[in-house]
Structure formats: structure tokens, C-alpha cells
Chain A
Amino acid sequence: MIGIQLAGNLTQGLILGGVYGMATMGLSLIFGVLGVVNVGHGAFIMIGAFTTLLLFTQLGLSPIIAIPVALVIGMALGFFFYYTVIIRLTEAPELASLLATFAIGTLLEESVKFTIGTEFRGYNWDVGKISLHITTLPMSKIYAFVGSILIALLLYLWFSKTRAGTAVRAVMQDRKGAGVCGVNVNWIYALSFAIGIGLTVTSGVLLTMFIPVGINPYMGGAYTLKAFVIAVLGGLASPYGAFFGGLIFGLIENGTYTLFALVPSLEPFAMTRFLSFLILLLILLIKPTGLLRAK
């Protein structure tokens, strides 16, 4: 019985992990290229969640349509905040960019609070479900998983096959070397930041496809924390590392949930959160360059 429950939870964990991974790629990309830690990461996920919610409840549009809409909104926000704020901070001490991205996150949260309010919201997108022997999966979760993998794949292809993607890799590996080759480094910064935020807002759509409730202006905080753990798992500056880090994290989170639930008087949900921090601490102590990075 426990075996089945564990297998079921691990399946859910794998799916959620794919979405987590996708939700961390933007953070890693921005850190890898600009060296900026986006502390406001979760607020952009929240923007994606509200985009999905509003399109669905106000216009009756499916969350699938929200994916490209969120990407466009995210990239527009990314370019806007790059040219208004981040452009001044790429040479500045880390504390400056931490404060600035924290401020951007707060600004987004308070703007949404001011215009929409703080109630928890949700939506119900029923597209059927499939019953496996071990668990029942709503189709919406499967779409979220497939969407995450497709987006991660597209990013991979963009990185490895296109001129701009190659330039981004070059800037990540040696900014000055890229400049010598005639890469417009400022433009690559702007583009990477915009794509990073675009991915993050889009991940907000996928996350609500997985968990269509609890949408509120402050929902991002928990995701910021998880994204940091995942990014560290995956090697911080590597978007693909982040994706695999997400898969592992989803498995651990859901697998241990089952185990924690066996212990009476433990609140399993709170324990998984405790566990995230424990993992973060352990990795930072043992292998601070990330588990999945060779270097």
C-alpha cells in the first residue's frame, strides 16, 4: 500500500519537478549571464499565475493560450526592467542588485495587491484525467509537464543552434572574450534578462496548471526559495542544470512527503519545506558549485 502511494507520489513529483525545473531556468540564465541574483524571481511567477487566472476567468481562454501571452508579457517586463534598472547594476556590487531585484519584486506584488487584492484565488480547468494503477493524473498536469519539457528543449536548441544563443553562451563563459569577437554584450545582457524573465513568467502559467489554487500577490516567496535550492542543485549558472535540478527536487519533495506522513504528529507539508533548506545547506557545505556541474 505504501509502495503504491510512494510510486504515485513520485510520479506526481516527477511531473511537478519538470515544472519546477522550468521555473528555475530563468533564474539560472540571468545569474549565468549577468551575475545578478534575481531575488524578485517569485513575483514574476506570480505575474504568470495571474495572467493565466485572468485570461481564464475573464476571457474564458485556456491556460495553453496563456503560455505565449505570458512569454510576451514576461519578455516585455524583462526589457523594461533591464533598461530602467538592471543596466546600471551589472558592474555594481552584489548588494545593489540584490536590493534592486528585491524592490522590483515588491513593486510587482504591491501593484497586484493594489489592483486585484489579496484574496486567494483559483480556477477550474477541467480537461479530463487519466487513471494509472498508482495514481490519478489530471490532464492539466500532464500538459504542464509536456509544456515544461518542450520549453526546456526549445531553449536548448536556441542556445546551441542560433547565432544569438551562441553569443549568450560566449558571454557566459568570458564576457571580455565575447566583446573581442564583436558581440554586443549590452544587447546580450538585455536579451538574456528578457528571456529569463519571460521563462519565469511562463513558468507561472505551468505552475498554476499543476496547482490551480492559492493564487495571490504573495504566492511567489515560496517559489523563490525553491528556485534557489534547485538552482544550487543544478550548478547555479546553468539553465539545463536547473532543469534537472528541478526534476530531482520534485522527486525528493514528493517522495519524502509520503515518508513524513508515516510519522504520527509530523506535519508532512511543513517538513518538506524544512527539508528544502536542509538540502540547500548540505549542498552549500559539501559541493557549493552544484551537484550536477562537473567543474
Chain B
Amino acid sequence: MLRVKDLESGYGPMQVLWKPSLQTKKGAITSLLGPNGVGKSTFLSTVFGSVKPWGGSIYYEEKDVTYMPTHKKVEMGLALVPEGKHLFPEMNVYENLVMGAYVKKASRHREESLALVYSLFPVLKERSGQLAGSLSGGEQQMVTVGRALMTKPQLIMLDEPSQGLAPLLVQEVFRTIQKMKEEIGLTVLLIEQNADASLSAADFVYIMHEGRIKAKGSPEEIKGSPEIREAYLGI
């Protein structure tokens, strides 16, 4: 579905990504794990196009999208739940969600997407008239995920969706991710620092360190390798 090869990018003169390669399988949860500051978010931003690639290639559904602008990728069914929410604070929950259905393809499915989001997060329906800025952290995260679902994606990329949430809510996030896969049939690319939870959710795992992929395999393989766990995951 998504095939990234030897991706390079960075900020100004500083190179962050040193040719990581990664593939997602249709209908599966692929997880990219790694400690702080190794370039996970940069990887997603580069795949999404908000950071320009310096080299390498990105294929989505067998099409070369390496230098495609982000709004076209959204139209093709690629969605990003960015780190740090990025909601529209002066719009209410409903308006935030509807903004997710901005591109033409998504706007045609607006009502059914909205029903889906409300069934996934019933509390958002109750809060629909409230300003996004006034919600709790967990509810804001739901809006962020909901807004991404409103774009009618096939592949959803989540950047540390459980960050800063209470343990109970973290469980809720992972349950939602399972639902995205099983009930909506989405392909998921999940970035996490929470190694335990994402090892049990994922179908396939990549481990990133200093901008490179250092290991990959099924969650069982990663869990079964004490070297990998110790060197990169600290568990």
C-alpha cells in the first residue's frame, strides 16, 4: 500500500532521515517504534509531504507520490493525525470535523463519515457545539482522529496518539485503532514510544534509531529478541 525506500530529509542543513525504508500491508497495523527525537515524526511528515524529501522514493498504491503536494495525497486517501493535535480552536467540534471533509472526494461522503465518527466517539456528538479549544485533552485527541477519518482515508498515519493521555484513555486509543482496522478496514501506520502497547496492537513493527531502521519483524520476533529490546526499546 505504502512503500517508502531510502527516504532522506531534514531541517535546514541538518539531516534527520538516513535512508529508512518501510512498507505497510493493506488492512494491517504497521508500527514504527523508537525513542525520543530519532526522526519518527519527521518520517511521517516527509511521507505526508509537509517536510520536503531530499532523496529516496515514496509509492502509494503503486503510484510515485514522492514530491506530490499534501492536499493531493489527502485526496488520494492518505491521512495524518499529527503530533500535537492542531485543531481549529475557534471552531466548534462539528466544524472541526467537517473541515476534515474538505477535499472533494471526502465531501461527497460527509454525512456517512460524520455518522461513523460519532459512532466511534459518541461523546463528540454531545460536544458538537462546543469550541475545540475548550475540550479536555482526551476529547481533543478524539476530534483529531475523527477529523482524519472525515478525510475518508484508506491509510491513516497516527503520530503518538496516546501521548499525554491517562492510562485508561491510552487503552481506549488502542481499542479505537483496532476498530479502525477491523471494522472500517483501514490500513494503519502507527508511531509510538509506548512500546508495550504498540507491540501488542501491531501486525508488523519497524524500529527506528538515529534516522535509520535498525530492526523489523513481527511483534513476536521483536519481543523474542532481547538484544533489540534492550538496545532500542528499553524493555
Contacts and interface: CB of A to CB of B under 8 A. Distances in A.
Contacts, number: 64
B212 interface: no
A286 interface: no
A182 B74 contact: yes
A244 B126 CA distance: 34
Interface of A is mostly: helix
A42 to B, nearest CB: 30
B74 A181 contact: yes
A210 B80 CA distance: 51
Interface string B69-93: 1110011000111100111111100
B154 to A, nearest CB: 14
A289 to B, nearest CB: 14
A39 interface: no
A176 interface: yes
Interface string A167-186: 10110011011111111111
Interface string B148-187: 1001000000000000000000000000000000000000
B103 interface: yes
Interface residues of B, number: 25
Contacts of A118: none
Q: How large is the interface on A (under 10, 10 to 19, 20 to 34, 35 or more residues)?
A: 10 to 19
Interface string B56-80: 0000000000000111001100011
Given A173-B90, A176-B82, A181 B151 contact: yes
Contacts of A181: 74, 99-100, 102-103, 147, 151
Interface of B: 50, 69-71, 74-75, 79-82, 85-91, 99-100, 102-103, 106, 147-148, 151
10 contacts: A170-B99, A170-B102, A174-B88, A176-B50, A177-B85, A177-B87, A180-B79, A180-B86, A180-B151, A181-B74
Given A174-B87, A176-B86, 20 more contacts: A166-B102, A170-B88, A170-B91, A170-B102, A173-B88, A177-B82, A177-B85, A177-B87, A179-B71, A180-B74, A180-B79, A180-B82, A180-B86, A180-B151, A181-B100, A181-B147, A182-B74, A183-B71, A183-B102, A184-B71
